[in-house]
Chain A
Amino acid sequence: AQTVTQSQPEMSVQEAETVTLSCTYDTSESNYYLFWYKQPPSRQMILVIRQEAYKQQNATENRFSVNFQKAAKSFSLKISDSQLGDTAMYFCAFMKFHNDMRFGAGTRLTVKP
């Protein structure tokens, strides 16, 4: 079974600084997708960034980027120039082809002014 581990239950960062959230996963598949979702207090899950395992290039979306290490089964999220609106729960998710998404336990990120 695929498992996703987020080892940091809580993190905090000062506004405008950079923070990295960790995620590791376990799979025997070679083709799969990885996602980072953000869940603010409004509870709505919002896709932050997505990575296809067959792509070696790390995905980036504005201030958000990932460090995808396929051999190490690691998928960390870097948030640059943190903003107060980035305060939320962040979930790492794994999805192999033709299957459902599996989520990690989440990391609660607080951005401090």
Chain B
Amino acid sequence: KAGVTQTPRYLIKTRGQQVTLSCSPISGHRSVSWYQQTPGQGLQFLFEYFSETQRNKGNFPGRFSGRQFSNSRSEMNVSTLELGDSALYLCASSLVSMVGGAGGEAFFGQGTRLTVV
């Protein structure tokens, strides 16, 4: 069974640009959550999508958005990039929704390393 796939693995962008990251969950999983990992702030929850609906959102500005497609693949978009957006972005898939479910195990991808210059 294939794991969680995140593309691209590495990305370099310039301030002010926008970026789209992709996450393909494990087959059959309907929940995709996104996390930002930085040395200073650690792992912070961005949002969760389940069955194409955003179920929960962390404390991030509106520049961070996402969506989920009918095949459960999810994309995360960051507009007007800032230097502080440089981070490892991790997505996690689970069978049940983190919000509506009961502590379903989350499987993580290897992340996308975004560098903003």
Contacts and interface: CB of A to CB of B under 8 A. Distances in A.
Interface in A70-113: 91, 95, 97-106
Of listed B92, B99, B106, B109, residue having the most chain A CB within 10 A: B106
A44 B42 contact: no
B99 A100 contact: yes
Given A33-B103, A45-B92, A50-B103, A100 B110 contact: no
A36 to B, nearest CB: 12
B115 interface: no
Q: A interface, how many residues as a size bin?
A: 20 to 34
B98 A91 contact: no
B103 A100 contact: no
Contact of B106 (A98, A101, A102): A101
B104 to A, nearest CB: 9
Interface string B89-117: 01010000011101101111111000000
14 contacts: A42-B110, A43-B88, A43-B90, A43-B111, A45-B90, A47-B105, A98-B99, A99-B98, A100-B33, A100-B56, A100-B58, A101-B33, A101-B98, A106-B42
Interface of B: 33, 35, 42-43, 45, 48, 56, 58, 88, 90, 92, 98-100, 102-103, 105-111
